[in-house]
A = this chain, B = another copy of it.
Amino acid sequence: MTISRHDGRMFDELRPLSFVRDYTKMSMGSVLVSFGDTRVLCTASVAPDTPRWMRDSGEGWVTAEYSMLPGSSPERIRRRTSGRDQEIQRLIGRSLRCVIDMAALGERSITVDCDVLSADGGTRTASICGGYVALHDACERLVLAGQIPGNPLFTECAAISVGIVDGRPLLDLPYLEDSTADVDFNVVMTGDGSLIEVQGTAEGKAFSRDELTAMLDLAAKGITEINEAQRAVLRTPPEPRATAP
């Protein structure tokens, strides 16, 4: 299959990917993740308590919030939490909770905030990829501060979009492709190749089981590459930082 993606990528190729660690210095974890022109600032904040319904369980909690800055899109976005935002932040939270041992985290909660600085498709999957790194740094700093014996994250968590555009399965869709896709899938996987979430939506045109298979294969390939980048950035420990008790 020869390619003709507008940005010159192969059908199964990710956009240029980077994680800028400690992009700001105020949070326990702070990562600027980029997939091409999509840039999301992910910060992880630790609080010494948990939601009311899980008090005294001995376990911790991880939650996420997602928002797009008004200037992140060519058409300015109004400041309000839309239904779409809520759906996305629930997805991010569920995904991250699948790779962390809540008992090992202990009775504290971590909020992962994903604020989109620049939106060019794939903001929710980028949020999961960057949110994992920010969460890892926050946990690592709890370890460095002696608050927990080891990092409660037991595998990586990453996500990518795939879709069918003009009948062809494509990996990591920027806005231009996303807006013309017949099918739009978001896949979240662990670092050991298991599935966490599969969310696929026909945009006006239903799809077949064979197309589903092709998309899942593409997603698995992309996520493997993202996991490698995550491991690379996390190879060295973060600088210690003062923590809440």
Q: Which residues of A contact B (CB under 8 A)?
A: 23-27, 30, 37, 39, 41, 43-45, 47, 65, 67, 69-74, 76, 79, 81, 83-84, 86-87, 89-90, 94, 97-98, 111, 113, 115, 117-120, 189-190, 194-202, 204-209, 212, 216
**Chain A interface mostly:** mixed
* Min C-beta distance of A176 to chain B, whole Å: 13
Contacts of A76 in B (CB 8 A): 27, 45, 47, 111, 113
Among B24, B47, B117, B209, the residue within 8 A (CB) of A72 is: B24
Look across to chain B and name the residue whose beta carbon is closest to the beta carbon of A24.
B118
- Check if A209 sits within 8 Å of B216, measured CB to CB: yes
Among B41, B81, B208, the residue within 8 A (CB) of A71 is: B41
Contacts of A27 in B (CB 8 A): 71, 74, 76
- Check if B118 sits within 8 Å of A70, measured CB to CB: no
Distance of A115 Cα from B26 Cα, bound (Å): 15
Among B119, B195, B199, the residue within 8 A (CB) of A207 is: B195
17 additional A-B residue pairs with CB within 8 Å, beyond A27-B76, A43-B69, A194-B208: A26-B72, A26-B119, A26-B120, A45-B71, A70-B115, A71-B113, A83-B90, A87-B90, A94-B201, A115-B115, A195-B202, A195-B206, A195-B207, A196-B206, A197-B200, A197-B201, A209-B216
Contacts of A119 in B (CB 8 A): 26
* Min C-beta distance of A164 to chain B, whole Å: 11
Of A37, A84, A117, A194, the most chain B CB neighbours within 10 A belong to A117
- Check if B86 sits within 8 Å of A24, measured CB to CB: no
- Check if B206 sits within 8 Å of A202, measured CB to CB: no
Contacts of A197 in B (CB 8 A): 200-202
- Check if A69 sits within 8 Å of B209, measured CB to CB: no
Distance of A40 Cα from B79 Cα, bound (Å): 17
Look across to chain B and name the residue whose beta carbon is closest to the beta carbon of A207.
B195
A–B pairs, 14, beta carbons within 8 Å: A27-B74, A43-B69, A69-B115, A76-B111, A83-B83, A86-B87, A87-B87, A98-B206, A194-B207, A194-B208, A197-B201, A198-B198, A199-B199, A199-B200
Given the known A-B contacts A83-B86, A200-B197, are A65 and B74 also in contact in the complex, defined by CB atoms under 8 Å?
Answer: no
